[in-house]
């Protein structure tokens, strides 16, 4: 099996949320599953910004869902969803 590159959009609950703290927590969680490849800030609407975090993880059964569920536990976020999945 190969690896999968994932891009997650992590939406904070509050437009004034500390995205650096959210990014650090997301990095820690991603590194439990694979390799953290960086992140960027995406403007959404009305001053709201989202964090887009990139991860490379093994292509193993259920690991994508496990990672997403773990990201959703970050305090202060509204949602975390995979917006791009690529087999590498």
On average, the pLDDT of the chain sits at 93
For the full predicted model, state whether its pTM sits above 0.95: no
Contact 27, 60 (CB under 8 A): no
27 or 46, greater pLDDT: 27
Has residue 4 got a pLDDT over 90? yes
Domains of the chain: 3-87 (3.30.70.60)
Average pLDDT over residues 52-72: 91
Has residue 1 got a pLDDT over 80? no
Looking at residue 62, its pLDDT comes to 83
């Amino acid at each position: 099996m190969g690896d999968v590159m994932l891009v997650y959009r992590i939406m904070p609950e509050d437009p004034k949320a500390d995205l650096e703290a959210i990014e650090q927590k997301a990095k820690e969680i991603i590194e439990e599953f694979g390799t953290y490849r960086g992140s960027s800030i995406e403007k959404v609407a009305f001053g709201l910004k989202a964090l887009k975090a990139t991860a490379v993880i093994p292509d193993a059964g259920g690991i994508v869902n496990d990672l997403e569920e773990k990201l959703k536990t970050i305090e202060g976020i509204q949602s975390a969803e995979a917006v791009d999945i690529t087999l590498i």
